[in-house]
Amino acid sequence: MKYYLFLISIFLFLTSCKDSPKTAIQTVDKTSGIELLADQSHPGKGLLEKECYTCHNPKTAQSEMIAPPMIAVKKHYLKKTNTRDQFVKDIMHWVKDPSEKNSRMPGALRKFGIMPYQSFPEKTVSQIAEYLYDNDIDKPDWFQSNMGKGQRKGKGMGKRKGIGECSGNCMGKGKGQCKHMGKVSIDTLEKYKILGKKYASRTKAALGKKLMQAITEKGPDGAVKFCDINALPLTDSLSLAQGAKIRRVSDKPRNPLNKANEKELTFIADFKKTLTSGYPAEPILDTTDGQIDFYYPITTNAMCLQCHGVPEEQIATSTLSLLDKLYPNDRARNYHENEIRGIWAIRFNQE
């Protein structure tokens, strides 16, 4: 019970930031019947977003999904069980052994190909599964029409925040993040932030899809060349219309062409500080000659470490020798999970 009081007090603290969008989700504790707030501080939330949303992200456009959104997975897994224990076991079982025989979503398997095996600590997956079971999670806007009847339209399942609202940081770990700027500038800034994030997430999805396919088919060695965004066909209509130029740069580049410049290095340092502080990152915007420069951090997850982790431990010997050959000045090693690997540096035209 104390736990819940704790959550409620966190909520009260957070809502003291007036402009915050009300993204808190209400659920009902079945044992006490008391209305509770979705557990924003649950470790499973961050883990879900970090480890699973690379592929299961509800914010990815339908045409760019590389895996079913997590809400669809949850729905399927709830069909077979209504106990929390069993749900958690089932999810853990899958993550440990994603195989055709274990699949409950044969349609998704056919459409996307099988989920690649990734090694996660058991506790990570159990916390994710518990969080999934206990909370309403975000669903994509397009998901509504695909949902069967009886689906809840609860708070937190619906619309995302609109332009001009305080950008959601107020719901993070607290104070100091809610920027009270003039209405006009918020509108414009938010618009560019959203646009920038859209470019970044599209590119990430396209890249993730290639990487995932390649790792599944050929293993990390065969996939090595697929982590190059320049190899992607990024000239879609949106990018063309806005004249977007998308780069990924790093303070420890693998490819020397991806080396961050002075200015970008200071942004990387800023994002590193933000990450350690625990606050969610806000994109950085900069304007030059009618163009917008958008910067946003790229963080590592478990999947990245097979090519960016500790040599011999996480990077296999064979992958290593390939990397040595292709990138003699490779500095992009010895990363751990949840570190800043680099940033998106995206330039597009001001409207």
Binding site for ligand HEC (CB under 6 A): 51-52, 54-56, 67-68, 73, 91, 94-95, 98, 103-105, 108-109, 112-116, 120, 125, 128, 211-212, 220, 223-224, 227-228, 230, 248, 250, 253-255, 258, 298, 300-301, 303-304, 306-308, 332, 341-342
Query: For ligand HEC, which is the closer residue by CB, 51 or 190?
Result: 51
Q: Which two tokens stand for residue 267?
A: 């942004």
Query: For ligand HEC, which is the closer residue by CB, 255 or 291?
Result: 255
Nearest approach, Cβ of 143 to ligand HEC (angstroms)?
Answer: 15
Query: For ligand HEC, which is the closer residue by CB, 177 or 201?
Result: 201
Nearest approach, Cβ of 175 to ligand HEC (angstroms)?
Answer: 29
Query: For ligand HEC, which is the closer residue by CB, 126 or 167?
Result: 126
Nearest approach, Cβ of 128 to ligand HEC (angstroms)?
Answer: 5
- Vertex 187 angle, CA 205 and 139, to 5°: 40
Residue 112 CB-half CA count within 13 A: 23
Query: For ligand HEC, which is the closer residue by CB, 178 or 304?
Result: 304
Q: Is 147 exposed, middle or buried (0-12, 13-18, 19+ CB in 10 A)?
A: middle
Nearest approach, Cβ of 120 to ligand HEC (angstroms)?
Answer: 6
Contact 67, 115 (CB under 8 A): yes
Q: Which two tokens stand for residue 304?
A: 């990245």
Q: Which two tokens stand for residue 294?
A: 């958008």
Beta bridge partners of 293: 286, 347
The angle, 0 to 180 degrees and rounded to 10, between the axes of the packed helices 84-96 and 70-80 is: 120
Nearest approach, Cβ of 81 to ligand HEC (angstroms)?
Answer: 13
Q: Report the SS3 class of residue 39.
A: coil
